[in-house]
Amino acid sequence: MLTKASAPKILVVDDDTSIRITLNQALTKAGMNVRAEKNGAEGYKAFCEEAPDLVVSDIQMPEMNGYELSSAIRSSDHGALTPFLMMTGTEGQESIELSYDAGATDFISKPINYPLLVNRVRYILRAHSTFLEWTKSQNQLENLGRVLDNSSNEIFFINAESGLINSANKAALRNLGYTLSELKNFTLASLLVDSTREKGNFTQACQNLRAGSSLKQHFTITLRRQDSSTYPVEGDMYSSQELPEISLVCIFEDITERLFNERRMRHLAYYDSLTNLPNRELFFQNFKNALLQAERYGNMVGLLFVDLDNFKHVNDMLGHKAGDELLGKIADVLRSCIRNSDYIGTHMEGSLARFGGDEFAVLLSRLNSTEEAGQVADRILEAVSRPNIIREREILITPSIGIVVSPEHGSDPDTLLQRADVAMYAAKKSGKKNYQYYCRKMHSDGLYRMELERDLKLAIKKGEFKVNYQPKFDIETGMLSGFEALLRWSRNDIGVSPEIFIPLAEESNLILDIGNWVIDEVCRQIKEWHDAGVSKALHVAVNFSARQFSDPGLVDYIRACFNKYEISASCFQVELTESAFMSSTSLISEILVELSNLGCSIALDDFGTGYSSLSYLNRFPLDVLKIDKSFVSKINTDNNNSIVAAIVALSYELDLQVVAEGVETEEQLSFLRELKVKYLQGYLWGAAAIPEDLEPLLASHSQKVMEAHSPVSLSM
Ligand code: C2E
Ligand code: CA
Ligand code: CA
């Protein structure tokens, strides 16, 4: 309780649900108390209610944008000094200026590197608390010296009229290498390195403070030491009416190390270490931004997916080191192809990426026609196919290239990437060393499926599967009630959607092994959670394919897993879709009865998409009914409200618990609340995540359970 009360309060404002959730998790994990809101208007309301210690906000949001929010907070009763961190996205350089004009303290650009953002938030809070401590002791001048000299921040007092430094604390003198009497001959501006921009900003900021148009100005500047070496500092300058002779106070922190670490962290997170090219993640962000821009300005974006032919032979014949060398050379060749291209657009830095292995991607952000993508592909084919000399041997390698162009081939980045992959496989099939544009009929093409199936067979052995867990909540109390286990396949580091690989696994019967792996893994995770003190009342729902029920050993296998991990069947929920129920009813119903007798609960998934017949529902030992997300997403459109209402009424009739799936908006939530739907699952309150990222959620759940069972009220 105590730590909770003293934890810094952070207000996060962003209309992007996934950013809100991830930020919330990252900051909570760092020990902060987070409230997240989805637009400026709600953010402002939350600000007035909570008086947070810091605000992190997006710029473009409905109702009230980030600039407006910042200005509103600045002119509110308690918001004159609250640190405000703006997340700038695709808006470009001017957004940074506009953010500062609106009173933001600092900015961080998207894509958000979460560890970096947490660091930045910690730093801003620290600098701000030094300032607050200083203001507190302004009236007690005897305390001032102690505060100043104990501070690791560099602090300067400046005479506003002459601009001369009036005093500085030990940290400042130590780092600059001057004595106080030497330093008194300088203005702070004369210690700046000669950058016109920095000096200009600095002078402007001083003027703003003197004129009283602002109480505080934030900056990053570079200072020159006595020995002429330089170092970057970041901090704030405040105007002060309290101290005679001093009218400006600067509190700076030497950020040499932080900048170095940030650069390193950024590099590690977003670049491939072998080729120094952006990795898949950074590329994906750039691709997403390019698509957004293209939508706004109505132009075309192309993506080339480049895969080297028979690269495995190089590794096998010459060893991995030589293989790596070759990849480095190919990266250089691709770089030079792109440098000469007119279609790359402004983000030269992110337009070429290595996706891992021998796969590269090229982003063409300024296409005038679909054919132009082919022209770049031609150039790449020609350049990459030239002989390479590696360790005095001539090596010939060729690429196969898949091309997609948006909007023609889709507008969603995930879909486009998958389609580029499909097109690349088609290029391999038509003899390699060529390129292919995506077209619909490629899906029915056997080769892509064959390769996918081949890799799927190896996926368990290669450890490419992972289970993510999506939380489910009690709508009325907001309490966590359990999770749904969702399988993830990272195929050679590239995620394949379960919508693609699950049907394939079902057709090839691989689903039996995969399904058993999921059951074992989920039981293992449940045991791990129990060992860590997580409530045993929480359950995990596991998706089953109808095929798995044709395995005569299924029930024994599940029972053996419960025994192996010493968990109770009540923690395990079996989820089966409506169509699976219908596939071969008699056998399925027998197995479900066995599982139900064992103590598992049974959920009917995707309800509403199949037959939805009352008569067959009676035949199964059902406990839970999940309303399919296609209905939830259409709440308040068409006639779907009455369908959802009918499903809920039906479930009451049959004494079933109802879970609404895919809940994304407050509007959907309030409708479901009205209908008294008991449980919610959806991005609004939580997307699927790896267990590590669920720790804050589980910890707060344990806390709530403890409070609910404690005889003495802990809340104050
Ligand atoms: P499902 O059982 O209907 O799972 C729910 C899907 O909805 C998940 O997609 C989840 O990420 C997504 N979802 C959750 N909340 C929201 C939301 O607010 N909005 C939207 N638009 N989507 C939301 P995912 O993980 O891609 O899984 C797709 C399907 O793959 C699942 O649908 C399930 O049928 C199947 N699947 C996943 N894991 C397994 C497994 O281990 N075994 C079997 N047999 N099937 C699985
Ligand atoms: Ca499901
Ligand atoms: Ca479902």
Q: What is the pLDDT of residues 696-713, one digit of tens each?
A: 999 999 888 888 776 544
- Cα–ligand 3 centroid distance for 684 (angstroms): 16
Beta-bridge partners for 231: 223
Q: What is the pLDDT of residues 519-559, one digit of tens each?
A: 999 999 999 999 999 999 999 999 999 889 888 899 999 99
Confidence class for position 508, pLDDT limits 50, 70, 90? confident
DSSP secondary structure letter of residue 634: T
| Distance between CA atoms of residues 523 and 520, nearest Å | 5
Which SS3 state, helix, strand or coil, does residue 411 take? coil
Q: Taking 80 as the threshold, does the pLDDT of residue 585 lie above it?
A: no
Which range among 78-92, 127-141, 226-240 shows the weakest confidence by mean pLDDT? 127-141
Please provide residue 436's backbone torsions phi and psi, each rounded to the nearest 5 degrees: -135, 140
Q: Taking 50 as the threshold, does the pLDDT of residue 347 lie above it?
A: no
Q: Which atom of ligand 1 is nearest to the CA of 468?
A: 25
- 684's enclosing H/E stretch is none
Q: Is 473 in the pocket of ligand 1 (CB under 6 A)?
A: no
Q: What is the pLDDT of residues 27-66, one digit of tens each?
A: 998 899 999 999 999 999 999 999 999 999 999 898 899 9
102-127: average pLDDT:
86
Q: Is 688 in the pocket of ligand 1 (CB under 6 A)?
A: yes
Q: Taking 50 as the threshold, does the pLDDT of residue 387 lie above it?
A: yes
| Distance between CA atoms of residues 37 and 19, nearest Å | 11
Which SS3 state, helix, strand or coil, does residue 18 take? helix
Of the chain, the percentage scoring pLDDT greater than 90 comes to: 44
How many of the other CB atoms lie within 10 Å of CB of 278? 24
172 CB contacts (<8 Å, ≥6 apart)? Answer: 154, 155, 156, 183, 252
58-77: average pLDDT:
91
- Inter-residue contact 235 to 153 (CB < 8 Å): yes
- Residue whose CA is closest, atom 16 of ligand 1? 662
Q: Is 83 in the pocket of ligand 1 (CB under 6 A)?
A: no
- Cα–ligand 3 centroid distance for 584 (angstroms): 20
Which range among 115-119, 143-147, 299-303 shows the weakest confidence by mean pLDDT? 143-147
Which range among 53-62, 141-150, 195-204, 379-388 shows the weakest confidence by mean pLDDT? 141-150
Q: Taking 50 as the threshold, does the pLDDT of residue 714 lie above it?
A: no
Which protein residues have a CB closer than 5 Å to ligand 3 (ion)? 605-606, 661
Q: Taking 70 as the threshold, does the pLDDT of residue 90 lie above it?
A: no
Q: Which amino acid is at 218?
A: H
- Cα–ligand 1 centroid distance for 377 (angstroms): 36
295-312: average pLDDT:
90
Kindly tell me the sign of the dihedral angle through the C-alpha atoms of 137, 138, 143, 146.
Answer: positive
Q: Which of 9, 23, 193, 178 is nearest to 115 (CA)?
A: 23
- Inter-residue contact 665 to 686 (CB < 8 Å): no
Q: What is the dihedral of CA 160, 162, 168, 171, to 10 degrees?
A: 90
Q: Is 545 in the pocket of ligand 1 (CB under 6 A)?
A: yes
Q: Taking 80 as the threshold, does the pLDDT of residue 115 lie above it?
A: yes
Task: Give the pairing type, strands 33-37 and 54-58.
Answer: unpaired
Confidence class for position 345, pLDDT limits 50, 70, 90? low
* Average per-residue pLDDT for the chain: 86
Q: Is 682 in the pocket of ligand 1 (CB under 6 A)?
A: yes
Per-residue H/E/C for 279-312: CHHHHHHHHHHHHHHHHHHCCEEEEEEEEECCHH
Q: Taking 80 as the threshold, does the pLDDT of residue 227 lie above it?
A: yes
Confidence class for position 1, pLDDT limits 50, 70, 90? very low
Q: For residue 117, how far is the Cα from the chain centroid?
A: 12
Confidence class for position 91, pLDDT limits 50, 70, 90? low
pLDDT of residue 2: 34
Which SS3 state, helix, strand or coil, does residue 403 take? strand
Q: Is 487 in the pocket of ligand 1 (CB under 6 A)?
A: yes
pLDDT of residue 167: 86
Q: Taking 90 as the threshold, does the pLDDT of residue 477 lie above it?
A: yes
How many of the other CB atoms lie within 10 Å of CB of 535? 16
Of the chain, the percentage scoring pLDDT greater than 70 comes to: 90
| Distance between CA atoms of residues 41 and 570, nearest Å | 43
pLDDT of residue 325: 93
pLDDT of residue 666: 93
Q: Taking 90 as the threshold, does the pLDDT of residue 399 lie above it?
A: yes
109-113: average pLDDT:
81
Q: Is 576 in the pocket of ligand 1 (CB under 6 A)?
A: no
Kindly tell me the sign of the dihedral angle through the C-alpha atoms of 694, 695, 698, 703.
Answer: negative
Q: Is 331 in the pocket of ligand 1 (CB under 6 A)?
A: no
Q: Is 664 in the pocket of ligand 1 (CB under 6 A)?
A: yes
Which range among 603-607, 689-693, 709-713 shows the weakest confidence by mean pLDDT? 709-713
Which range among 124-128, 139-143, 533-537 shows the weakest confidence by mean pLDDT? 139-143
Nearest ligand for residue 465 CA: 1
Q: Which amino acid is at 96?
A: I
344-357: average pLDDT:
72
More confident residue, 11 or 391: 11
Q: 650, exposed or middle or buried, with CB in 10 Å at 0-12, 13-18, 19+?
A: middle
pLDDT of residue 240: 72
| Distance between CA atoms of residues 178 and 252, nearest Å | 17
Of 79-83, 186-190, 659-663, which one has max mean pLDDT? 659-663
Q: For residue 588, how far is the Cα from the chain centroid?
A: 39
pLDDT of residue 691: 96
- Cα–ligand 1 centroid distance for 221 (angstroms): 49
603-626: average pLDDT:
77
Which range among 287-291, 342-346, 377-381, 585-589 shows the weakest confidence by mean pLDDT? 342-346
Residue entry with tokens 């022209």: 375
Confidence class for position 4, pLDDT limits 50, 70, 90? very low
- Inter-residue contact 388 to 399 (CB < 8 Å): no
| Distance between CA atoms of residues 69 and 85, nearest Å | 12
Q: Taking 60 as the threshold, does the pLDDT of residue 137 lie above it?
A: no
Task: Give the pairing type, strands 248-254 and 154-158.
Answer: antiparallel
Rg (CA), the chain: 30
- Inter-residue contact 376 to 364 (CB < 8 Å): yes
371-400: average pLDDT:
91
Helix axes 666-674, 640-653, angle to 10 degrees: 40
pLDDT of residue 684: 94
pLDDT of residue 204: 82
Please provide residue 491's backbone torsions phi and psi, each rounded to the nearest 5 degrees: -85, 110
Q: Taking 70 as the threshold, does the pLDDT of residue 564 lie above it?
A: yes
- Inter-residue contact 484 to 606 (CB < 8 Å): no
Per-residue H/E/C for 213-245: CCCEEEEEEEEECCCCCEEEEEEEEEECCCCCC
Q: Which atom of ligand 1 is nearest to the CA of 486?
A: 38
Q: Is 465 in the pocket of ligand 1 (CB under 6 A)?
A: no
Task: Give the pairing type, strands 480-491 and 539-544.
Answer: parallel
366-380: average pLDDT:
91
215's tokens? 């109480």
438-444: average pLDDT:
77
Q: Give, rounded to a whole angstrom, the gap between the first and last alpha carbons of the chain.
A: 10
Which range among 112-116, 189-193, 228-232 shows the weakest confidence by mean pLDDT? 112-116
Q: What is the pLDDT of residues 243-292, one digit of tens each?
A: 555 578 888 999 998 888 878 777 777 888 889 899 888 898 889 989 98
Residue entry with tokens 């060992």: 531
| Distance between CA atoms of residues 716 and 699, nearest Å | 20
Q: Which atom of ligand 1 is nearest to the CA of 664?
A: 18
Please provide residue 550's backbone torsions phi and psi, each rounded to the nearest 5 degrees: -90, 0
- Taking CA atoms, 417 is separated from 327, 402, 446, 448, in Å, by 22, 10, 19, 14
Order of strands, edge to edge, in the sheet holding 106-109? Answer: 33-37, 9-13, 54-58, 84-88, 106-109
Which of 21, 486, 544 most suits a substitution to test ligand 1, by most atoms within 8 Å of the C-beta?
486
- Inter-residue contact 587 to 561 (CB < 8 Å): no
- 618's enclosing H/E stretch is none
Beta-bridge partners for 362: 304, 352
Residue entry with tokens 């303290």: 105
How many of the other CB atoms lie within 10 Å of CB of 362? 25
pLDDT of residue 58: 93
- Cα–ligand 3 centroid distance for 605 (angstroms): 5
Confidence class for position 3, pLDDT limits 50, 70, 90? very low
Q: What is the pLDDT of residues 483-503, one digit of tens each?
A: 999 999 998 878 888 888 998
Q: Is 471 in the pocket of ligand 1 (CB under 6 A)?
A: no
Q: Which atom of ligand 1 is nearest to the CA of 506?
A: 44
| Distance between CA atoms of residues 235 and 120, nearest Å | 12
